[in-house]
A and B are shown apart, each in its own frame.
Chain A
Amino acid sequence: MKIMEVPPRYPNFEQTAIKKFWDSLKEGKLLATKCSECGKTEFPPKIVCTSCYSDKMEWIELPKRGRIYSFTEMHVVPTGFKPPLTVAVVELENGVRLFSYVVNARFEDLKVGDEVEIDFQEMNWYDYKKHPYFVFRKV
């Protein structure tokens, strides 16, 4: 028996206020929230704007291309993950930044500014179920 691992959490993807975000991933769409009063785009999505505190948030689809802002390759990871794992912060064409795996490149293949596109794949989430999520693919 494993004594300690990152324990499962059970986010209720069917009932969460940002259910639409998770549902859209299944359709190959990546969404963020945008405040319809002050115009601020939020990622991770939020139900209230962190800038003007309006609750009039609308969903927008994010661009599918961006550039590497920074990156690393993890070799030591918690119990339950298999290294090495290449991850990056990517800045999309509209300035929104995202964090995920780079699935087709190692550290040595990457540099800041490299172009990537958004792809979607099934990922093990910490409820130990597969969920669709977005990943990066170097162009």
Chain B
Amino acid sequence: MNDVAIVGAGTTKYGKHLDKSATDLAQLAVKEAIESAENISIDDFDGFVLSSQNPEILQKQGNSVNHFSEFLGIKAKFATRVEGACVSGSMGLITGYMAVKSGLVDLCLVVGVEKCYELPSSSDIMAAFSYVIDRDWEAAFGSNAPMGFAMFATRHMSIYGTKEEHLAMVAVKNRKFASKNPKAHFQKPITIEDVLNSRPISKPLKLLDCCPVSDGASAIILTRRELAKNYTDTPVYIKGIGQFLINENVISSISDLTEFTALKIAAREAYKRAKIEPKDVDVAEVHDCFTIAEILEIEALGFCNKGEGGKFVEEGETDLGGKIPVNTGGGLLSRGHPIGATGICQAGIIFEQLRGEAPKGRAVDAEIGLTQNLGGWGTSQAVIIYSR
């Protein structure tokens, strides 16, 4: 089996791109990824993976892998589109990883894209995304993403004494990192008071506890270890992956609303394959779709004990200089969340960190990085571990 390397990464700015289509965004991300490597032209790819959550509803466009190939100019002997709600990006990376690892392809382009701001209002976009929720047993009540994560927040706060201020600290830290990331959706620093005073979305979660819906695209180029040096002097290797899906898709089916049980299992798998422990990770990008999610994730990834995530954040352990800097790209909360692109953007941020290319103010001297991406109510999880 081949070792798999990342040799290029690119991303658009995340935000509202009223002047660009989904395929425009994908082209721009791929252009940057190709230009970040050496000696690659679009004709060199023989694998293509597209991660996009919702083009059928947002663009009324099906057959998306074929549709995007036209605009990207790509021909491939292996091509597929993956979708698993918000974890689509990491599922795409893992699909590309498997294609390279097995020897099916030599050079694989993984592209994630979502274009939301074609619909006229945020409630229209919310309606479009309520398709991801069980239609019979949840969506019929007007449920949407904040509802489920608020259920975790209420329970975690009740059992472990986590406070709204702890949640706010996550948002403030991630915005501070985003202020150093010109590609982030939101870059203006915020305070704990700003978060606490923002309007309720799904109590106890407030507006600034929630990530935005964004337009954007991100791309990663994968190849096998032996070929990596043809394309860059500083490849980054995928050391291990771990994925887990648990059959608890409806909020009332989740056995424990104080933890991401599936993540504990996915993380264990990834650590085992990478032959490392949580303490070996130098920098992590986690799926902070809501502030409470980051707290549950640092617990499930083993960076701190269960129930102590809030305290760990309060003590600065997830900031620069702490035990494990988390979301140095700004996180979903501030960088933004174009659904299918997010997991791929996370990999790009770790690629930048491990190559020593992250700018001052969010650079970590890191040898080992980790990304974590989730779908559903955290019941579908993917963890990827990277090394220099």
Q: Which A residues are within 8 Å of any B CB, using their own CB?
A: 2-6, 9, 11, 43-44, 50, 69-81, 83, 85, 87, 89-90, 97-101, 107, 111-112, 123, 125-126
Given the interface pairs A9-B135, A99-B137, the reply to whether A71 lies near B143 with Cβ below 8 Å is no
Assess the B137–A78 pair: CB atoms within 8 A: no
B119 contacts the other chain (Cβ, under 8 Å)? yes
Assess the A69–B155 pair: CB atoms within 8 A: yes
Within the complex, the shortest CB–CB distance from A92 to chain B, in Å, comes to: 10
B124 contacts the other chain (Cβ, under 8 Å)? yes
B128 contacts the other chain (Cβ, under 8 Å)? yes
What chain B residues lie within 8 Å of A100 (beta carbons)?
A: 141
Assess the B136–A44 pair: CB atoms within 8 A: yes
Within the complex, the shortest CB–CB distance from B247 to chain A, in Å, comes to: 7
Closest B residue, CB atoms, query A83: B142
Report the Cα distance A15→B118, complex, angstroms. 38
Within the complex, the shortest CB–CB distance from B209 to chain A, in Å, comes to: 12
Find A43's partner among B119, B142, B152, B252 (CB 8 Å cutoff): B252
What chain A residues lie within 8 Å of B139 (beta carbons)?
A: 6, 126
Find B142's partner among A11, A71, A81 (CB 8 Å cutoff): A81
Assess the B202–A74 pair: CB atoms within 8 A: yes
Within the complex, the shortest CB–CB distance from B132 to chain A, in Å, comes to: 12
Find A3's partner among B124, B137, B142 (CB 8 Å cutoff): B124
Given the interface pairs A11-B136, A70-B151, A107-B203, the reply to whether A77 lies near B142 with Cβ below 8 Å is yes
Given the interface pairs A87-B141, A89-B151, A101-B141, the reply to whether A78 lies near B202 with Cβ below 8 Å is no
Assess the A5–B203 pair: CB atoms within 8 A: no
* A interface footprint on B101-122 (CB within 8 Å = 1, 0 otherwise): 0000000000000000001111
Report the Cα distance A124→B201, complex, angstroms. 22
A-B contact pairs, 7 of them (CB 8 A): A4-B119, A70-B152, A70-B154, A73-B203, A74-B202, A80-B127, A89-B257
Find B124's partner among A74, A76, A79, A123 (CB 8 Å cutoff): A79
Assess the A97–B252 pair: CB atoms within 8 A: yes
What chain B residues lie within 8 Å of A3 (beta carbons)?
A: 119-120, 124
Find B199's partner among A75, A78, A85, A87 (CB 8 Å cutoff): A75
Given the interface pairs A76-B123, A99-B137, A112-B158, the reply to whether A69 lies near B257 with Cβ below 8 Å is yes
Within the complex, the shortest CB–CB distance from A138 to chain B, in Å, comes to: 15
Within the complex, the shortest CB–CB distance from B141 to chain A, in Å, comes to: 6
Within the complex, the shortest CB–CB distance from A42 to chain B, in Å, comes to: 10
Q: How large is the interface on B (under 10, 10 to 19, 20 to 34, 35 or more residues)?
A: 35 or more
Find B135's partner among A78, A81, A107, A126 (CB 8 Å cutoff): A126
Closest B residue, CB atoms, query A99: B252
Interface of B is mostly: helix
Report the Cα distance A84→B251, complex, angstroms. 19
Within the complex, the shortest CB–CB distance from B296 to chain A, in Å, comes to: 13
Report the Cα distance A71→B147, complex, angstroms. 9
Closest B residue, CB atoms, query A42: B253
Assess the A76–B155 pair: CB atoms within 8 A: no
Assess the A72–B127 pair: CB atoms within 8 A: no
Assess the B127–A74 pair: CB atoms within 8 A: no
B140 contacts the other chain (Cβ, under 8 Å)? yes
Assess the A77–B200 pair: CB atoms within 8 A: no
Report the Cα distance A98→B252, complex, angstroms. 5
Assess the B155–A87 pair: CB atoms within 8 A: no
Report the Cα distance A83→B199, complex, angstroms. 13
What chain A residues lie within 8 Å of B200 (beta carbons)?
A: 73, 75
What chain B residues lie within 8 Å of A112 (beta carbons)?
A: 154-155, 158-159
* A interface footprint on B253-275 (CB within 8 Å = 1, 0 otherwise): 11001000000000000000000
B250 contacts the other chain (Cβ, under 8 Å)? yes
Find B252's partner among A4, A77, A89 (CB 8 Å cutoff): A89
Q: Which of A70, A97, A99 has the most CB of B within 10 A?
A: A70
Given the interface pairs A85-B141, A85-B142, A112-B155, the reply to whether A75 lies near B203 with Cβ below 8 Å is yes
B69 contacts the other chain (Cβ, under 8 Å)? no
Find A72's partner among B130, B151, B247, B254 (CB 8 Å cutoff): B151
B232 contacts the other chain (Cβ, under 8 Å)? no
Find A76's partner among B131, B140, B202 (CB 8 Å cutoff): B202
B80 contacts the other chain (Cβ, under 8 Å)? no
Q: Which 8 A-B pairs have the closest CB atoms?
A: A81-B142, A72-B150, A78-B127, A77-B142, A99-B252, A4-B124, A112-B158, A70-B155
